[in-house]
Amino acid sequence: MSVARPVPEPTIDSKPYWDGLKERRLLLQQCGNCGLVRHYPRPMCAACHSLEVRWIESSRRGRLHSWTAVHHPFVPALRDEIPYVMATVELEEGVRLQCQMLDAEAAALRLDLPVEIVFREVQDGLVLPFALVV
């Protein structure tokens, strides 16, 4: 008996991000005024306070900033995947995201390991980013 993952509830500010994932594209917000890239999606640029936004596609290349191997089933939907590794990835664009790692052995991980972001449809209509050691 499988339990569904918690499903995100996209907002006006974040909908393009989630729509992008469905198309297997990692979209990031870029300030329409000063060009600063930010993540996770939000309405305002903290540098210049502009509300103008454009969306750019990430290179999906990054480095491992930190990680944890999760052994306790805090998220019931992931009980069968334990232990799974959560990665904090610093993207080339200068922002980070947290996602699950594919085929990772926690003991072999180290800071700044090159990774790339790939996509998996984990359940009907929910495409998530995953990190893969390059």
Partner 1 sequence: MAASLNGRAAVVGVGETAYRRGSDRSALALQLEASLRAIEDAGLEPKDIDGLLPYASGAAVAEDFITNFGLEDVTFSATTPMGGASCVAAIQAAAVAVATGLCRNVLLPIGRRGYSDSRVASRVAAMPQFHVVSEFETPSGAIAPAQLYAPMARRHMELYGTTADQFAEVAVTMRRHAMLNDNAIMREPMTVEDHHASRMISDPFRLFDCCLESDGGAAVVISSAERAADTRRPVPILGVAEGHPDSPSVITQRPDITRLGLAKAAPRAFGMAGVGPGDVDVAEVYDCFTWTVICQLEDLGFCAKGEGGAFVEDGRIGLGGELPVNTHGGLLSQAHIVGMNHVCELVKQMRGEAGRAQVAGAEVGLVTGYGDLGDGSLAIMGAAA
Q: Which residues bind partner 1 (CB under 8 A)?
A: 5-11, 14, 39-40, 65-72, 74-75, 78, 81, 83-84, 86, 88, 95-100, 106, 110-111, 122, 126, 128-129
Closest to partner 1 by CB, 44 or 95: 95
Helix (H, G, I), strand (E, B) or coil at 21: helix
CB of 1: closest distance to partner 1 in angstroms?
A: 19
- Asked if residue 48 binds Zn ion (CB under 5 A), the reply is yes
As to burial, measured by CB atoms within 10 angstroms (0-12 exposed, 13-18 middle, 19+ buried), residue 120 is middle
- Asked if residue 7 binds Zn ion (CB under 5 A), the reply is no
Closest to Zn ion by CB, 31 or 113: 31
Contacts of 11 (CB under 8 A, 6+ apart): 41
Q: Using the rule CB under 5 A, give the single segment among 11-19, 34-42, 61-69, 104-112 that binds Zn ion.
A: 34-42
Length, in residues, of the chain: 134
CA separation, residue 113 to residues 65, 93, 128 (Å): 8, 16, 21
